[in-house]
Structures are given as C-alpha cells and as structure tokens.
A and B are shown apart, each in its own frame.
Chain A
Amino acid sequence: DTEVTQTPKHLVMGMTNKKSLKCEQHMGHRAMYWYKQKAKKPPELMFVYSYEKLSINESVPSRFSPECPNSSLLNLHLHALQPEDSALYLCASSQSAGDYYNEQFFGPGTRLTVL
C-alpha cells in the first residue's frame, strides 16, 4: 500500500464549529506532515511529526491542533477558524524526518471552507 488517505475530501464549517481532519498511511513511515495550500500557491508546511512526536511547528495559530495517535494516523483538530483559513490541507508521510532527505508522499487533501 503506497497511499496516503485523507478524510473528509471536503469540509464546510462555521467559525464556531469544532472539526477534525484525518490522515492515514500504511507504508510504515515514521514521519508525517501537515501542509496548507491556498489557491494558486505552493504548499506551506504547518507541522511535522517524527516517531509520533511533534518535531516542527511552523508558528501555526493554536486554533489548529495536531495529534498523532499512532504511527499510521495523523489528525488535525480545528476550532474557531477564520474564513482566511479556507484552503486545501495536505497530509504527507516519509520514512523518517530530520536525519536525511527522503521522499514525501502526499495525500489528496481536504478542501476546507470556513464560513
């Protein structure tokens, strides 16, 4: 299985809602990533988990809260978002993070709209 899956595909939420994005991989990868991609822009790194521990937080607002329950799963909990948070949220995984370069595999993304 060489796939990263993400659910849901689309999500519409109000500014007072709480929702979660989910990501799963079964490649045995020990690094997982969240990226945010606005329209016509490149992906921007948000968080990195390495061996289920948060290793990088790129100064992301606290209304985004990542969680890595186990080595195959990555969640992004959303609370009190703003309309400007509307974007495509991409999950990626790689064999490891930090020590050397290795290929990142991306999921299809969750298209988030905040009303």
Chain B
Amino acid sequence: GESVGLHLPTLSVQEGDNSIINCAYSNSASDYFIWYKQESGKGPQFIIDIRSNMDKRQGQRVTVLLNKTVKHLSLQIAATQPGDSAVYFCAENKGRNAGNMLTFGGGTRLMVKP
C-alpha cells in the first residue's frame, strides 16, 4: 500500500516475497545512481549502484534496473527478510560538472511481515 501527505510511501510485503521499490529521477546528466538502506537510528548504508550506461546490475539478493527513457530506477529485493525492513533512498550522482555530489530521492519505507 501507499500513504501520502506527511508520511513516507510505504511498501508492505510478506516475508519471503519479492519487493520492488521505485524511484523517479530528474537529471539526465547524472552518471551514477545509488540505492541506500537506512534502518531506524542509523545512517544510510550503501546497497548497490549502477552506472548510467547500464540498464541492470545484480548484487546479492538485490537487482537494480535503470530506465533512462522514462528516468526511472527500481530496486528489487528477492526473498525479502525481516532484516530488510528499513527506509530505502535512491540517490543520483550529479556528475563531474556538479562536483559529483549526491541528491537523494524522497525515500520508501519497506515493512516486512513475518
């Protein structure tokens, strides 16, 4: 489900199911896209990144898909576990002309039901 207003968008999944978290970005010049996981009371933790000349990259249980035509990025988590519960942020690296700074997207809360 999704909630709007002052709350983070929330994705609720059953343990063992696959999760898909989506992100739209704005800057065509961004050269890298990164997914971070932030657990309660902790700083963001790097999950996976993808360069702009790729459309798919796989890690351990995670896959990132990049669709530059529609400026869309997604994170797929296979066999979601309770430990995956967190807020997930996408970030875009603005490229050399912008000092390679990161701009974060709004975030999605993933809740895993046991």
- B-binding residues in A (CB < 8 A): 4, 40-45, 48, 55-56, 90, 92, 97-109
Contact = CB atoms under 8 A, between A and B. Distances in A.
B46 A98 contact: no
The interface size bin for chain B is 20 to 34
Interface string B66-101: 000000000000000000000001010100100111
A40 B6 contact: yes
Interface of B: 6-8, 31-32, 34, 36, 41-46, 49, 89, 91, 93, 96, 99-107
A99 B96 contact: yes
Given A103-B49, A108-B43, A98 B89 contact: no
A29 to B, nearest CB: 14
Contact of A56 (B34, B45, B99): B99
